[in-house]
Amino acid sequence: MSKGRILSGMRPTGRLHIGHLSVLENWRKLQAEYDCHFMVADWHALTTKIEETESIKANVRELVVDWLSVGIDPEKSVVFVQSQVKEHAELHLLFSMITPIGWLERCPTYKDQVQQLGDQGKDINTYGFLGYPVLQAADILVYKGDAVPVGEDQVPHVELTREIARRFNYLYQTKVFPEPKALLAEISLLPGVDGRKMSKSYNNEIAIGATTEEIQARVNAMITDPARVRKTDPGNPEVCIVYTYQKLYNPGEVKEIETACRNAEVGCVACKKKLAAVIDQALTPYREKRLELLAKPSIVDEILADGGEKARKVAAETMAQVRDAVRI
Ligand code: TRP
Ligand code: SF4
């Protein structure tokens, strides 16, 4: 029995990295329990990429290939692209009529992003950007999503979605919309190879589809204990990025590595070599699936065409009820 309906999504901003795996593994598991809809949020990508739209289409494919390669299964879940389903835009418009501007200005993600992009010299003080969470609410509610599996950073948007659903139901005296819950994945504790937050924009990430060579290069770039200059110096694994990764990717050997490091019995070169090998092993199935999909691009086209059709059907049903409630 399905526990309800799930809608979640990501923006197509390029290849995913291993920091995204905790969210994706959560999606993969939930496929067995819920009626899942996974959406590529290409309209959302437009909110911050007003003049660099040329990469969006290619990124949509990359993202879908990444999803499929980690086990998102189009036989179980509806996989589609936001802009294929115009009902999202209609619901966004109706929601924009009832959403107080203060709710959006107070949204922590909005304040952060304006600040961050402002620091980079980008001005995104647009109407569309302010309304980002309203579009996200439409994404979720047009499928009457009960649950939204996301990372912690998206919680304010799910909160706003609940508030918009409540306000709509109250204003139009209806029960069309559920109040969806966020389903949090375990937080990824993996830093980027330089110790900062893992992000493509810092060039410190390991892509899910990384080649063996790319993995080796990234592991080689990892920051080790800076006080350990020679192999004969005892090391402190607590301050070493390689060790942080060993804990996750090499749990069987981690105790041994810790002791050997503290006693100067293992060198950083050998330690990194071992880590690159275990990460490579963990990512090999994803890489193989990915290559299979890239070799036959029509598979992705077919999945998205089918997903778009299924999504539109659900969205159209909801919108009929919504128009009825609004009397428009
Ligand atoms: N804002 C989400 C992100 O940046 C992407 C997204 C768009 C989304 N619409 C959604 C996530 C609906 C969950 C539900 O990751
Ligand atoms: Fe880090 Fe391994 Fe070097 Fe110790 S031996 S400092 S854990 S890379």
Domain extent listing, the chain = 5-189+298-326, 200-290
Q: Pick from 310, 296, 7: which is nearest to 148 by CA?
A: 7
Please name which ligand lies nearest the alpha carbon of 230.
2
Looking at the domain covering 200-290, what would its CATH class be?
Answer: mainly alpha
Q: In this structure, what are the phi and psi dihedrals at residue 154, rounded to the nearest 5 degrees?
A: -95, 0
Q: Return the H-helix or E-strand segment holding 25.
A: helix 21-30
Q: Return the H-helix or E-strand segment holding 133.
A: helix 132-141
Strand partners, 9: 39
Full DSSP string of 213-274: HHHHHHHHTS---TT--STTS---GGG-HHHHHHHHH-GGGHHHHHHHHHTT-S-HHHHHHH
Domains 5-189+298-326 and 200-290 share a fold: no
pLDDT digits (tens, 9 = 90+) for 22-72: 999 999 999 999 999 999 999 999 988 777 899 999 999 999 999 999 999
pLDDT digits (tens, 9 = 90+) for 262-300: 999 999 999 999 999 999 999 999 999 999 999 999 999
| CATH code at 5-189+298-326 | 3.40.50.620
Pocket around ligand 1: residues whose beta carbon is below 6 Å from it? 7-11, 41, 44, 136, 139-140, 148, 150, 154, 157
Q: Whose CA is nearest to atom 3 of ligand 2?
A: 268
84 within ligand 2 shell (Cβ under 6 A):
no
Q: Which atom of ligand 1 is nearest to the CA of 145?
A: 14
224 within ligand 2 shell (Cβ under 6 A):
yes
The pLDDT of residue 1 is: 60
Please name which ligand lies nearest the alpha carbon of 263.
2
Answering whether pTM is above 0.95, one says no
235 within ligand 2 shell (Cβ under 6 A):
yes
At 80 the three-state DSSP class reads strand
242 within ligand 2 shell (Cβ under 6 A):
yes
Classify the C-alpha dihedral 162-167-170-176 as positive or negative: negative
82 within ligand 2 shell (Cβ under 6 A):
no
Counted residue by residue, the chain has a size of 328
Question: For residue 233, how far is its CA from the centre of ligand 2 (angstroms)?
Answer: 11
The pLDDT of residue 68 is: 98
Strand partners, 80: 39
Q: Pick from 252, 233, 231, 249: which is nearest to 241 by CA?
A: 249
Q: Whose CA is nearest to atom 4 of ligand 2?
A: 261
Q: Pick from 5, 59, 65: which is nearest to 37 by CA?
A: 5
Beta-carbon neighbour count of residue 160 at 10 Å?
A: 21
pLDDT digits (tens, 9 = 90+) for 62-116: 999 999 999 999 999 999 999 999 999 999 999 999 999 999 999 999 988 888 8
Q: In this structure, what are the phi and psi dihedrals at residue 147, rounded to the nearest 5 degrees?
A: -145, 145
